[in-house]
Structure 1
C-alpha cells in the first residue's frame, strides 16, 4: 500500500491538520526545521509555546490543545510521560495552569471530545503514543482518534485516523485497541492504553 509522503495533510478535524510522518529521515543539520515554536507575537496568546517535533504524535496533541483550548502541556521526553503531568499551561495568561486530570482505562467517567488518549511504553511503542479523541458515540460504543505517526500508517478517512471499539461494563468505560476497519498489524491488538486525560477548566477551590 502506498502511503502519503512526509508532510502530507492526512486529515483536519476541528480545523487542526494532521500530517504524515512516513518516510522521515532525521538530519541533525536540519533540526531547527523540525522543531516548531509559536511566538506569542504571532498567535495572540499570552506566552510563547513550544509545539514539538514535526510530525510526531506529541506535536499533534500539543498543537490541537493549543489551538482548540489555548492550553499546552510542557515539553516532555516521550509521549508516555504525558500521563504523569498534573497540570497544563493556560496560554491565555503569562502565568497559570489548569489541572490535567487522568482517567485510567476502565473509569466510570466516559471519554469526551478533546481528551487525549495515552499509550504506555511497550516493545511495539518504544516512546508510548498520544492521540486526540475527536468523537465519542456511547450508543454505538465507538471512539474516533486523530493522531500523527501511529506505526507510520495512513488515516482511515479524512475525518479520523482510527475508529476504536469501546466496552461499557458495570458502569466502567474501556477504550480497546480493536479498530473498526482494516488493522494496521497484528501487534496493535496487544497494545495497552493508560487511559485519557482532560483539562479541568473549573477546578474545585
Structure 2
C-alpha cells in the first residue's frame, strides 16, 4: 500500500516473503510478507513463546513487545480487534499484567513513543485492520515499525513517517486509512528488554480473559488453531 500522507523510510524495491525489511529499536527485525493478501498459515515461536503468524502485523507487534518490553498479549482474530478486546499485556517471566490505555485519534494527549497504533478494518484493502508500533515521536509526526503494510526495504530504523496535527487541543494522526488511535502500556517503566537467559523454553504462554498464564506443550503450538476457518494471530 502506498499512501499520500505517510512517508516511506526506504525505496520502492519489493522484498520477497521472509526477507528482512529493516530493524527497529536496536534489534527487532521486520520481515516481508510478500504482499498484503498472502496468509502463510505458518506460526512462529521465539524461544518457545508464540509470536503469531508469519509475517503479519500482529506478529510484529507481539514480537516487538516481547523483545523490547518482555511482555506479550493474547491471540486475537485481527489487529483491529486489539482496540476493543485487549485490556492488558503480560510479562513473560512472572505473568504480571500491565494495563493498556486507549487514546482515540483526536485525543487531548499527544502520541506516546512505544505505543501501538491501531487501524480499523477497511474492506477490501485491510479486512483485519493493521497495527504498527510507534518507535519515534517528533514535533508533528510519528514513525512506526510494522510488517505486512508495505513491502519495501527500509533505509532507516522505521517503516513509515506519518504526520499528526493539533486541532482545538486534540491530536490527530493523519493517514489515508482510518485510525482508531494508539494504545499505551501503563507499566511505570517496569518493563524492560527481555533477558533470554531467564526464559524457560519448554512451554508456550497462552491467556484466558482474566490475563492468567496457562501453559501447554510446545510440541504442536498451533494444534488449537490449525483447523480454524479464520486466521488466529
Same fold (TM over 0.5): yes
> Is 1:98 paired with 2:98?
yes
Q: CA deviation at 1:2?
A: 4.3
What is the DSSP-based 3-state SS (H/G/I as helix, E as strand, rest coil) of the residue aligned with 1:11? Answer: strand
Q: What is the aligned residue count?
A: 174
Structure 1: stretches of 5+ with no match in the other structure: 43-47, 178-188
Match of 1:18 in 2: 30
Match of 2:19 in 1: 8
Which structure's residues are more often helix, by fraction? Answer: 1
Q: CA deviation at 1:171?
A: 2.0
Q: CA offsets per residue over residues 140-193 of structure 1, 9 Å max, x none?
A: x0111111001x43255232211111101222111111xxxxxxxxxxx2x110
Deviation >2 Å, runs of 4+: 23-27, 155-159
What is the DSSP-based 3-state SS (H/G/I as helix, E as strand, rest coil) of the residue aligned with 1:197? Answer: strand
Match of 2:121 in 1: 121
Structure 2: distance between partners of 1:66 and 1:36: 13
Structure 1: distance between partners of 2:153 and 2:179: 20
Q: Could you tell me which of 154, 158, 170 is aligned with 2:152?
A: 154
TM alignment of 1:1-205, pairs within 5 A: 2-14=13-25, 15-22=27-34, 31=41, 34-38=42-46, 42=47, 49-84=49-84, 85-93=86-94, 95-123=95-123, 124-138=125-139, 141-150=140-149, 152-155=150-153, 157-177=155-175, 189=176, 191-202=177-188
Contact 1:143 1:163 in 2 (8 A): yes
Per the normalisation by structure 1, the TM-score is 0.78
Q: CA offsets per residue over residues 38-83 of structure 1, 9 Å max, x none?
A: 3xxx4xxxxx531100110000000001111111111101111111
Structure 2: distance between partners of 1:2 and 1:155: 7
Flag the structure with more relative contact order, 1 or 2, with Cα contacts below 8 A and sequence separation at least 6: 2
Structure 2: stretches of 5+ with no match in the other structure: 1-11, 190-233
Residues 109 and 4 of structure 1: CA distance in aligned 2, closer, same or farther (over 3 Å): same
